[in-house]
Amino acid sequence: MKSYKFYLNAAHHFLTLKDYEKLAGQEKDYCHLSSFIFSWIALESYVNMVSDSLSKGTRLKAHEKAFLLEQELKVDDCGVFKEINIHPSTTRKILFLINYFTKIDVKTFKQLKLWMTLTNFEELRNKIIHYKQKEDVNLTRKQVMDSIENTEQLINYLNKEVFRKS
């Protein structure tokens, strides 16, 4: 699997092509969509990498480790614990990381522009990934640049707050 840095570079790549300005409308749309999706993949890859790393910690309870590893402990019909695969959203995992591994109050975090930008980013991503014909999404270069910037800001923020380094 590639690292989040690879996906972030890929997001930048499509907007910095040598002939970007010469591209026709639909070709630019391809670049915008590719960059946008790669920026989300970069964020998701980073969050998953951090989650995997932190899941190895010894102070975590079994259900906290399981969440970080995208699993849930359930009791089956025989009374035995079973690990079930789950797929929490990236934003939910970010909130978990902030709540458990930083000194930041989640309510305070949710007041930051960073959170509001992230939720808008996720909403736009969901409109693209879970496409419904009633709503066509056309990404502008600015929207894509904003998504890449948001990803970079979130990664830097989480690095600083979770690992206490910049």
Domain that holds residue 24: 4-57+89-162
* pLDDT tens string 85-97: 999 999 999 999 9
Does the residue 69 lie in any domain? no
Does the residue 84 lie in any domain? no
Does the residue 71 lie in any domain? no
Say what the pLDDT of residue 32 is: 93
Does the residue 125 lie in any domain? yes
Does the residue 77 lie in any domain? no
Does the residue 140 lie in any domain? yes
The pLDDT confidence band at residue 24, using thresholds 50, 70 and 90, is confident
* pLDDT tens string 48-82: 999 999 999 888 998 899 999 999 888 999 999 88
Measured between alpha carbons, how far is 102 from 57 in angstroms, rounded to an integer?
A: 15
Our count of domains for the chain comes to 1
Does the residue 72 lie in any domain? no
Q: What is the maximum alpha-carbon separation in the chain? A: 64
